[in-house]
Each structure stands twice: as structure tokens, then as C-alpha cells.
A and B are shown apart, each in its own frame.
Chain A
Amino acid sequence: MSASEPRLPSLSEKEFTVLNLLIGRPKSEKYGLELVALSEGQLKRGTIYVTLSRMEDKGYIESSLEKRNMPAAGTPRRLYRATGLGERVYTAWSLAQKHMYGIFKPRPA
């Protein structure tokens, strides 16, 4: 691959889990700890925000501060949702995984 060619979008295991939670379930906005709770131990509360920040840099997700109807104590939470690029990368990655699994499926003994 030459330097002038565009790089393929990469997706780590954690990023895939995040996109799966944001797209795979009923598509909605979710906040950090909600993703940790839904991931059943795959995502950790100490690393989730760094992962989300990296994904925002890559353009896979976007975020906004929650809107409050009435004044409430504390800082408003940040809600995350998948972007169009994120959805396309997730779909491509899922298909690739499915095909790879078909090719490299362990043979029965």
C-alpha cells in the first residue's frame, strides 16, 4: 500500500462493542456508565471515556450534553450516538467477521 492511498478505518474490539451497543440494540443515545453496564464486563469504567474520546476523533460517534427540563444538581451527562460513518464501519466489520468465521471455522475432529 502506498502512502497516497487512504487508510482503511480500523476498529478495535472495544470500539466494536461500543458501536454494537449504540447500533445493535434499539438505536438510541447512551451515556458512558450505561454502556459499561450493558457490556456485561467487556467495557471498564476506568477506560470507557478514553475509548469514547478516541472514537469521536475517528468520527465513529458524536456526543452532546443532555438537555434538562428543570434545574438539577451536578454536571450534565454526555450522551453518545453513532454517526453514519460509524454505522457503515460497524456493518462492514460485522460482515467481515461473519465471512472470516466461515472461512476459518474450526474443523470437527
Chain B
Amino acid sequence: MGVLGIIGSVLLLFETGTSDSIAKLIVILLSIVFHAIMIFRWYGEMFYPHRMGKVKAAEQLLIQFARERLFSRKPVSGPPGALLNGLAEFLGSSKTYRECLQPAIADMQHEYFEALAAGRTMKAGWIRFRGCCAFWNTWGLTVVVNTFKVITKFMAG
């Protein structure tokens, strides 16, 4: 599983050529989690061999779930980012939503549907993930910029 984690991370980074630092960080964190699982499994096999049956069954379920999510070609039930869109509309100011957050979601959805139309399910999944990272990145940056503006105004009197 650890080796798979490394291969997956390297492939994702080089295949897409992404420059999104948050996306890279999350992929590296996922790789670390996979390594932790591998070490945990090795530890269990060494010291708790009688409990390994349950761990293996759980792993099989996890793999089956991932396979179904990644490779199934079920029809799309709704556009990705619909939840984020609702959240941004509800929590963000109307200007932030209109100028920063809504365009980020719209572009991600368009890119996602293009990948799906080309039959690239894995790429569509990656676009969705990267789009979510870009969305949170944009929102975070907006909060920082707006806070800075408020502080500057306050300091200027």
C-alpha cells in the first residue's frame, strides 16, 4: 500500500504537471497516510496476528470502494462543486462570491465536464480535487486581503 501511495503521488504530480502547492501538499500527505497504514499493518502482523483478519477485510472494503468510485461510469448526478457554491453564496460576501468564488467553481465544472466528455474519468476526478483546492486557496486569499484592507483603513484612521 505504501509503494502504491508513492507511485500514485509521483504519477499524479508528473501526469498533470500541476503547480498548485496545496494540491501537491495534500498528495504528499496522502502518501504519508498510506505509509502509516503500511507500518501499522506490519506492526499488527508482528504483534497481533490474531486480529489481522479484520484489518484485511476492512482493507478489501476500502479498495473495493475506491475502485467503484474511480472506475465506474455511472451517470453524473449533479455538477461538482454544487455544495461549495451553496456554501460560498451563503457565507461569502456578494462581491467575493460574484468576482472570485463563483468563477472558480464555474471554470472547474467546465473543465470537469470536458474531461468526462473525453471519457477521462480519472482526470475528471483529479480536476475536481484540484478545483476544490483552488477554491479554498482563493477563499483563504480573499479573507487575508480583506483583513489587510480593514487593518490598513483602521490604521489610517
Of B76, B110, B111, most buried by chain A (CB within 10 Å of CB) is B110
By a CB distance below 8 angstroms, the chain B residues around A53 are: 95-96, 99-100, 142
A100 CB within 8 Å of chain B: no
Contacting residue for A76 out of B106, B111, B113, B137, CB 8 A: B106
B37 CB within 8 Å of chain A: no
A74 CB within 8 Å of chain B: yes
Contacting residue for A45 out of B102, B106, B113, B134, CB 8 A: B134
Contact with A along B97-131 (1 / 0, CB 8 A): 00111111111011101000000000000000010
Q: How many residues of A contact B (CB 8 A)?
A: 20
Contacting residue for B106 out of A41, A56, A77, CB 8 A: A77
By a CB distance below 8 angstroms, the chain B residues around A45 are: 20, 104, 130, 134, 137
B9 CB within 8 Å of chain A: no
Across the interface, name the chain A residue whose C-beta is closest to B135.
A46
A33 with B111, Cβ < 8 A, contacts A49-B103, A50-B138, A50-B145 known: yes
What separation, in Å, do the CA atoms of A47 and B106 have in the docked complex?
15
Contact B106 A74 (CB under 8 A): yes
Residues of B whose CB lies within 8 Å of any CB of A are 19-22, 76, 79, 81, 85, 95-96, 99-107, 109-111, 113, 130, 133-134, 137-138, 141-142, 145
A-B contact pairs, 7 of them (CB 8 A): A33-B111, A45-B134, A46-B21, A46-B138, A53-B99, A73-B79, A75-B85
